[in-house]
Amino acid sequence: MTSRPSSGSPTPPPGTSPSPPEAAATPCEARSLPPAGVVVDMASLGRGRADRINVSSDDAPARWYVDAGGEQLWIDVLHETLKHGLTPRWWTDYLHLTVGGTLSNAGISGQAFRHGPQISNVYELDVITGKGDMITCSHEKNSALFYGVLGALGQFGIITRARISLEPAPHRGFDYVEGRLLKGRDVSSSSFISEEASEKIKLLADEFGAIFLLEGAVYYEQATASMVYQELESLLKQLSFVPGFAFTKGVSYIGFLDRVHEEDTKQSSTEHEDVLHPWLNLFLPKSRIRDLESANKWDDKMSAPIPDEEEVFYTIGLLPSATREDWEYFDKQHHDILSFCHQEGIEFKQYLPQYVTEMDWMKHFGRKRDSILRVIC
Ligand SMILES: Cc1cc2nc3c(=O)[nH]c(=O)nc-3n(C[C@H](O)[C@H](O)[C@H](O)COP(=O)(O)OP(=O)(O)OC[C@H]3O[C@@H](n4cnc5c(N)ncnc54)[C@H](O)[C@@H]3O)c2cc1C
């Protein structure tokens, strides 16, 4: 749910700290570096080392959390916390990304409508600032740095530890929803869609030009398995959709959360090359959503820019998978959409942008830019 890996490290705003930490593996062209910048090898802090992922609790009232190194992959955090029957409840679609890497953006997926982005669920951070100081910060302690670092694209310093809230691993309930607009060529089998179903969907998409697909996840355990299908049926009765086009599939909790990695691995091995993701993600104000055809859990004090004018906004993600032959087609499509938004005066914010000019960066951070500069200076 981002710009493609081949541009995963945005160009930093001018006048900010030139030290992009290098976290999870993405293709080389993913990284951009300002003049005289340095690359920090985050994995050397101890990726995968058990003592860098610690589950603990406060005494009273009981509050569970995990202290994870900024270099740790979310998939390892998930495995470690599940040993305690606990889990973070907000994810990105892909878990082979680092804790520091997603917290420097926002960390969004189909749970954000209920729990907010990952950055809204952090208790405390250790940050190495541009001056070389190691500072612990939280909502109460060094709060300007805390809010500044979260969603600031790595410009305030390096997150070396994050204390992330945990909850009991879900046994029941509806906890994930994402909508997708699909054209025939975008339809492929996935953890939600079997190969047989994807053929049916492709025909439908071809017939109508495009279709809207709603993905949801309902958690259950063996004891409640029989009830979950009844609940699902009553939920589906409230929705309007083409008869015969509701598909269900049972997968494990980890299997569900790690689905994108599994699909990418499958596709790369079939096509014998890395899957590219020329993705575009926009935050659009509610009033302008129709032009393009959550309750707010985003903390406005954090650096991550969101639309200014309205309390409710939509996340639009264009998330195709591409090869080296056709990624430019998608890139052009994204430019056309952005031009359309500009022409129509739609005040969107791009998630994971790749701006080049100072003017574009100033517009992106908008009114947050002054507070960001105050923390840096
Ligand atoms: C396949 C794929 C799927 C994705 N899906 C989602 C998604 O569903 N939702 C979503 O929100 N995002 C998603 N992303 C985007 C992701 O949040 C960003 O690309 C993130 O920066 C990746 O983290 P990384 O560990 O790969 O960092 P890298 O690509 O190695 O680093 C990217 C940048 O992050 C910053 N950074 C990294 N580590 C730290 C640190 N310790 N401290 C401070 N800054 C740091 C730096 O600015 C660095 O230049 C996805 C990315 C990919 C490649």
* Candidate of 38, 92, 156, 262 to mutate for ligand 1, largest count of ligand atoms within 8 Å of Cβ: 92
The rounded distance, in Å, linking the Cα atoms of 280 and 1 is: 8
What residue owns the CA closest to ligand 1's atom 21? Answer: 101
DSSP-assigned states of every residue in 213-234: EEEEEEE--GGGHHHHHHHHHH
| Residue 26: strand, helix, or coil | coil
What residue owns the CA closest to ligand 1's atom 22? Answer: 101
Q: Judging by DSSP bridges, how do beta strands 40-41 and 21-22 pair with one another? A: parallel
258 in ligand 1 pocket by Cβ < 6 Å? no
DSSP category for residue 153: T
Instruction: Tell me the CA–centroid distance for residue 3 and ligand 1, in Å.
Output: 10
Q: Does the structural domain 10-168 have CATH classification 3.40.50.9100?
A: no
- Looking at the CA of residue 127, tell me the nearest atom of ligand 1: 42
Dihedral angle of Cα 112, 360, 353, 44, to the nearest 10 degrees: -110
Residue boundaries of the structural domains of the chain? 10-168
The rounded distance, in Å, linking the Cα atoms of 88 and 65 is: 8
pLDDT tens digits, one per residue of 52-67: 999 999 876 779 999 9
* Candidate of 71, 98, 350 to mutate for ligand 1, largest count of ligand atoms within 8 Å of Cβ: 98
The rounded distance, in Å, linking the Cα atoms of 204 and 169 is: 37
pLDDT tens digits, one per residue of 14-54: 333 334 455 443 433 445 667 777 788 999 999 988 899 99
Task: Identify the band that residue 185 occupies on the pLDDT scale cut at 50, 70 and 90.
Answer: low
Mean pLDDT calculated for residue range 95-101: 96
* Candidate of 72, 73, 104, 268 to mutate for ligand 1, largest count of ligand atoms within 8 Å of Cβ: 104
- pLDDT over 70 (residue 218): yes
pLDDT tens digits, one per residue of 255-276: 889 988 887 787 777 766 677 7
The rounded distance, in Å, linking the Cα atoms of 167 and 91 is: 13
- More confident of the two residues 97 and 278: 97
